[in-house]
Structures are given as C-alpha cells and as structure tokens.
Amino acid sequence: MDKFSVGKHISGKFNEELDLIRNKALTMGGLVEKQLSDALKAIENSDTELANRVLENDYKINQMELEIDEACTRIIAKRQPTASDLRLVLAIIKTISDLERIGDEAERIAHVAKASFSKDQEHLLVSLENLGQQVLSMLRQVLDAFARMDQESALLVHQQDANADRQYEALTRQLMTYMMEDSRSIPKIMDVMWSARSLERIGDRCQNISEYIIYFVQGKDVRHTSQESMENTVRGRTQS
C-alpha cells in the first residue's frame, strides 16, 4: 500500500473516530522519536539539562497510551468493528504499547546521560553512537511505514534489526574487553551496557510494529515466522 486511507463507512462518526485514534498514535510516535533522539543527544554531548527534559516528558507518553487505549476500547465496545477496521484498532493498541516501552528505554538512556564520565571514560559513550543512530533510523522508518500502512517499508525495517543485533553484540564484546583491562571502569561500563541493551530492545520493538503493519494489510499474523515466510506473505508468494 503506497498510501493509507481509512475505509469509508455509512457512519461518518465512525470514520472520524478511526482517524482520530490513528492520528493520536502517530502523534505519540513522534513524541517517542523525539525522546529517543534527545536521549542520544544528551549522551553524546553530556547534556544533563536535555537528559532531565527527557525524564520529565516521559509521563506524556504514558498518558497518551492510556488515552488511546481507552479510545480504542470504546470503539470496539460501541462499533464492534470487523475485518480491516478491527485489524486497524488492534494494530494501534499493540503499537502504542510498544511505543510506550520504547519511551521507557529512552528514559533509561537519559539516566545514563546524567551520570558523570571522566575524560578517560568518554570513549565508552562514543561506542554507543553507531548503534543509537541505527535504531533511531529504524524507529523513524517504521513510524513512516505505520503512517502509510506500507508493508514493504515495514518489511525492510524488520530486516534491519539483524544489523542492529550484530552491532549490539560487537559493542558488548568491546565493553567486556574494557572491563577486563581496567576493573575500575566496570561501574561506568555497566551503565553503557545497559544503554546498549535498551537500544537493542528498541530495535526489537520496531520489529514488532513492522509485524503489526503487515498484519493490518494482509490479515495474517506474521509473528514468530521466518524472514522468508514474512517476505512471501508481503509479496504474495506461495510457499512451496
């Protein structure tokens, strides 16, 4: 699907309700993306003030999840949606849950940004940069795919997680080497490792959202399936 549009119903009010929850989910996604971007900038620049803003704004994401979830529940109870309408509501419910968890991971990264690192330890934070930018790019792409319900773009994001996992594993090995070389740096290295773990989890959440998009478009649950099976589903190929 190149462009997403909510199907038209006899009830104009129903159309408005579907548009509203979808737009709210996109707004929540934009806020989560900014939280992650700011958390990464706070680490890169040792910006305590920016890290504090990330921590202070986390409640907004939690509140939006509650509001959207309640709106979705009302639609299910009142409209009893079927087919693609029901899939859209379910995809939104699942997506906002993952977005809220991404917000939690951004909050954890912001906490690390507030920690004091000596000049000799700043190289540890630099090692997070590549992974952080990879994951941030995945989040931006999957939110764009969600806005358009573009299953091809969602599939591409899903495939990118393997690269993020490789970066995470390489970074973990590098940090373990630092710990063995200098035991005094272990507390700070653990902070960086937890941040790297948060980024790896965000990549997994982006994968989840990709799967919800494919579910909406295809009407097929592609969770826990192989990459080949997922590609076949998206591209309409019959598996042999």
The CA distance from 36 to 41, in Å, is 9
- pLDDT value for 1: 41
- pLDDT value for 12: 77
CB 30 within 8 A of CB 98: no
- pLDDT value for 97: 98
Mean pLDDT in order along the chain per 10 residues (240 residues): 53 87 97 98 92 97 98 95 94 98 97 80 78 97 97 97 95 90 86 95 98 96 93 78
Which residue intervals of the chain are DSSP H helices?
12-45, 48-79, 83-114, 122-126, 129-148, 151-181, 186-218, 227-234
CATH of domain 12-234: 1.20.58.220
- pLDDT value for 183: 85
The CA distance from 25 to 143, in Å, is 10
pTM: 0.92
